[in-house]
Structure formats: C-alpha cells, structure tokens
Amino acid sequence: MPPRVTSYMSSPVITAKKNDNLAHIRNLMIRHKIGKVVITEEDGETIYGIISKSDFVRILYNRKKYIKPLEMLFAYEIATTPVLAVSDNRTIKAVAQIMVNEEHRFSPSPRQRSEVDRYSD
C-alpha cells in the first residue's frame, strides 16, 4: 500500500495566532524542533495561514523591506495564505501532485484540526 499522509504528520500541531510576533513564532519552532507553524485567526481555531523556516530566510534576505526586529513583525505580515487541508488518508504522491499543481502550503488535515494545540511561552 502506498504511503499515506498519516505516516508523515506531526502531532500535536503547533500553532500561533496571526497577531503573534515573529520572535514568538521563531521560539516555537526552536523549542519544538519544527519547520512550520500553523497560523490561526485570533479565535485560535480558524486557520489563517502558515509560516515556515523559509519565510524567515526570506526576511533575512530582504532586510531592506523588513527592517524592524522580529518582535515588531507579526505573523499576518508574512504568513502564506491560503493553505489547503488534505485528508490524512491521501497518498503522499497525490498530495505532492496537488502541491506542484496548486503551489499552496498545507495545514493539518481536517481530522487533525481537532488536535491542534496552542503553545505559548
């Protein structure tokens, strides 16, 4: 049987709110040894976007645009939106094809959304 999304999902999903600053999000990534953080609306439930390590690299590369310290930059300013949720029983090959065709980043699967945890300092 081909590998499924469930084989590669991290749990629990680490989230931050869209008004959290990037220093907080960077600290979450370091603390939990992850490369992506799901960004939610202020309700903590509705998915707004996603931030990855590559977004931080882009900030470092574009220092003229992002001259403020990370404490003064907020998730909503750099989060990739929209994100797509895929069923956790999809094959990795099918999801890879969607990623190539749609050029989106992915959030937790719909079933996993109920397991989304919010970690704070």
pLDDT in tens, 85-113: 777 788 989 888 887 777 655 555 544 44
Q: What's the domain range around 37? A: 5-118
Which stretches within 13-117 are classed as H helix?
A: 22-32, 53-61, 75-78, 92-102
- Give the global pTM: 0.73
The pLDDT of residue 104: 54
pLDDT for 119 beyond 50: no
Q: 27: how many CB neighbours lie within 10 A of its CB?
A: 15
The pLDDT of residue 113: 45
State the CATH number of the domain containing residue 75: 3.10.580.10
The Cβ-side half-sphere exposure at 88, using a 13 Å CA radius, reads 13
Domain count, the chain: 1
